[in-house]
Amino acid sequence: MSDYEIIDSNADNIDGCSLCGNKSTNNLGRRRKADWLKERYAEGLRYKVLRSREFGDVGMIEYAPGSHSWRPVEAEDYLVIHCLWVKREHKGKGLGSLLLESCLRDAKNRQCRGVAVVTSSDAFMAESALFLKAGFVPVDRIPPYELLVKKLQRAAPDPRFTVERKRLPRRYGKGLTILAADQCPYVSKSVGRIAEASRTLGLEPRVVRVTSARASRELPTPYGIFSILHDGRLIAERPISATRFLSIMRKNAEQATRGYRRCASGPAQPQP
């Protein structure tokens, strides 16, 4: 492990760090993420980079106090992990655990109730396995998402999801709305691709920047950060490719047409 060190990033050194595997300062998503981080440090958020002398930046962990978490969870006085990631070639060497330990140490030093994390069996987030091995337990579940916690104070209340599925889709109503925060450096690329794809369907999307932890926690998904709404329905709850977006839109249009045909032909008549 002597090849590795954990860099606690701050406003002065973040521009020199790789952000979730992206080091290019020309990349819009990366630049936005760096600016986003610079506004978050004062709120107690930490973005730690795992740096190898030989291979450069190979992993990261990001966490925030529950009151400033961008995931829709109630976790007052807990630290909430937003992301944990280790580069593919370096997995299985204990590096994810190293990053997690540094968060748990921080939680102890800050005298927090514990550490919470949203995991998913979907490939976009860390799975539960590493956290379960480290003594976390599941406390809430919205498939494929799970909320896990490791308590440092035994009597502390369990964190829970606060996901409201219907309110926001209703508020935005008709048309296509993309809600996106700069927390993830891959979001802006996804927004650009989906906006382009939606124009091929004759739709002009309304793009809403999610600029506060509170607004992110109001999104209708346990992931927070990102949502696509269409005609009052949530159609994607994390960044997706243009192909996936078009496929969802096609299926929904087919379903709507089938529903219309059923209504137009009226109720089934009794057979003689």
Binding site for ligand COA (CB under 6 A): 83-86, 91-97, 125-127, 129-130, 133
Decide whether 84 or 179 has the Cβ nearer to ligand COA: 84
β-bridge partners, 234: 229
Rounded to the nearest 10 degrees, the angle between the axes of helix 242-264 and helix 187-200 is 40
Q: How far is CA 65 from the centre of its chain?
A: 16
- The nearest distance, CB 206 to ligand COA, in angstroms, is 26
Decide whether 133 or 165 has the Cβ nearer to ligand COA: 133
Decide whether 84 or 236 has the Cβ nearer to ligand COA: 84
Decide whether 101 or 158 has the Cβ nearer to ligand COA: 101
**Which residue's entry shows tokens 């927090």?**
112
Q: Is the bond preceding 205 in cis, omega lying within 30 degrees of 0?
A: no
- The nearest distance, CB 90 to ligand COA, in angstroms, is 7
- The nearest distance, CB 210 to ligand COA, in angstroms, is 16
Give CA–CA dist 218/122, Å, rounded.
Answer: 21
Helix (H) or strand (E) holding 120: strand 114-120
- The nearest distance, CB 61 to ligand COA, in angstroms, is 8
Burial of 127 (0-12, 13-18, 19+ CB in 10 A): middle
Decide whether 83 or 242 has the Cβ nearer to ligand COA: 83
**Which residue's entry shows tokens 């290019």?**
24
- The nearest distance, CB 218 to ligand COA, in angstroms, is 20
The answer to whether the beta carbons of residues 79 and 106 sit under 8 Å apart is yes
- The nearest distance, CB 102 to ligand COA, in angstroms, is 12
Other residues' Cβ atoms within 10 Å of the Cβ of residue 204: 10
Other residues' Cβ atoms within 10 Å of the Cβ of residue 185: 20
- The nearest distance, CB 260 to ligand COA, in angstroms, is 40
Decide whether 86 or 240 has the Cβ nearer to ligand COA: 86
In sequence order, what are the residues at sequence separation of 6 or more whose Cβ sits closer than 8 angstroms to the Cβ of residue 238? 122, 124, 221, 223, 225, 226
Nearest to 7 by CA among 72, 43, 53, 40: 53
Taking CB atoms, the residue at the shortest distance from ligand COA is 96
Decide whether 181 or 197 has the Cβ nearer to ligand COA: 181
Helix, strand, or coil (residue 179): strand
